[in-house]
Amino acid sequence: MKHSKINSILSIEYMCSEKEKQFFDRKSARKAIKEVANHVAGFANASGGTLVIGISDDGIIEGFEDYESKYNKFLKVTSSDYLKTIPIYENETIEVVNNKGNKDKILLIHIRPSINTIIRNVKDEVYLRQGDSTNKLSNEQVKALELDRHEISFEEQINANSSVNDIDLDMVEIYKKSINADNQELLDVLRARRFLVINSLTGKECLTNAGVLLFAKDPSIFFPTARIRVVKFEGTEMQTGASLNIVKDKTFALPLYKQIIESQKFVDTQLREFNHLDKNGTFVTVPEYPKFAWEEGITNAVTHRNYAISGEHTKVFIYDDRMEILSPGDLPNIITIDNIREKRYARNPIISRTLTELGLVKELNEGVSRIYREMSEFFLEDPIYEEQKGLSLKLILKNNVVMRSKRNNEQLLKDKKINEKWIELNVMEKKIMQIIFDKGEVKTAEIADFIKRDKRTVQRILKKLCDNNLIEWFGTSNRDPRKVYRIKQ
């Protein structure tokens, strides 16, 4: 079989020390051929990957010295003796020194994701790679997997409208470094991984759909919904018309890796930090949400969304009391709301593998389960996953408004002057004081919108608070429309 140079970049050190994961596993040559065949099938039915034969599970290089008769059988591990359907794969033999100090060899089997076909063994069983293990599927799970096969083929389809001129070379450079292919030409990296292929109809090189999404300068030219929109709202609900309450609104149309990174940077600027007194009487800073939780939520939304459907883009909505992350398309059939913490299945295995190589997608189911864990460690509610009528998957992360207000209130009342007069204020006056404290500075109209009162009422309350030396205004004059109010120092 034809070997790809890019596949050969795995170092011996990596193969011995790397944890077994979605795209990588190793097995001793003493393993039964039929067992290894099931692992090959499992990789093909999932996201593809590399299986190393001749290194034990604990990273010892055993080679084939004691199992020479099995080497040729491993070369034909996908034969009809073991598998009913044959996946696309490449064998690669590497010379090594084994644990006895003798010259030896190991075998690498590079398996590509199976398109449109379920790989079955001779017993008609179906195995699937999930995280760091290969699992036999039930009849019900096999039927669900069959329904998902058409989505994988989308990634490898040639995008006839694309060309070499559409490629973001900086993105290719980033990718090249991530897979240690420094000696390869930029476009050769894309060719080796089949992101850039010859269109048989025109004879010209084009990107595949996965290549467009990962390496085109602006994927939204080809797929208008391949973008992220981040919107921050004032309040806890979306308003429209005259009551429109959008504070920030930014869209990111970039290669998926840059799209994720840049949108995460922007979201980080829109989130707040809160101070509260710990048990030692010291103020500590607490972020609104654990950083990993929302970053992983965005990464997953981009990685696993359905790019084959049109009409919807990835969204991040930030409200006062929660963040919502919407990913177009429902859950892959093998994943449900109930098992999303334990099961793993990549709708877009090529995209998933590439973003894993780029350091964004987490392995071994770490991502979703860690979101739950970190939300719990922050004393926040469990994340909520909701399927939106088969059109999208929504992740809801709630902050703790009550605790947040309590923390802010503690800090506000550290001001001796405010503390002394606090008991004399009514509920509305306290609420306005808290708003001004939370925001640092605020206009009359913003307060009126937030508390749902007319400007005249708010102006009267603000004057009283100014007269009590609790707040002060800044502007060119009392009628300055840009005038803001702050806590008086």
Q: What is the chain's mean pLDDT, rounded?
A: 85
Confidence band for 6, pLDDT divided at 50, 70 and 90 = very low
**Block residue for tokens 């709630």:** 398
pLDDT, tens only, 343-377? 666 778 889 889 988 988 765 456 788 898 888 88
Bigger pLDDT: 242 or 425?
425
Fold of 413-487: Arc Repressor Mutant, subunit A (1.10.10)
Q: What is the pLDDT of residue 301?
A: 93
Average pLDDT over residues 284-301: 88
Residue 34, pLDDT > 80, answer yes
Confidence band for 418, pLDDT divided at 50, 70 and 90 = confident
Superfamily of domain covering 5-137 = Schlafen, AAA domain (3.30.950.30)
Fold of 228-400: Heat Shock Protein 90 (3.30.565)
Confidence band for 448, pLDDT divided at 50, 70 and 90 = confident
pLDDT, tens only, 82-135? 998 889 898 999 999 999 999 999 999 999 888 778 899 999 999 998 878 899
Whole-angstrom Cα distance, residue 8 to residue 332? 32
Residue 192, pLDDT > 70, answer yes
Bigger pLDDT: 40 or 278?
40
Burial class from Cβ neighbours inside 10 Å (0-12, 13-18, 19+) for residue 279 reads: exposed
Q: What is the three-state SS of 368-391?
A: HHHHHHHHHHCCCCCCEEEEECCC
Strand 49-53 and strand 228-233: the pairing is unpaired
Confidence band for 419, pLDDT divided at 50, 70 and 90 = confident
Contact 443, 484 (CB under 8 A): yes
pLDDT, tens only, 141-183? 887 777 666 555 788 889 999 999 999 999 999 999 988 888 8
Asked if the domains at 5-137 and 413-487 fall in one CATH topology, the answer is no
- What residue ranges do the domains of the chain occupy? 5-137, 164-219, 228-400, 413-487
> How much is the pTM?
0.64
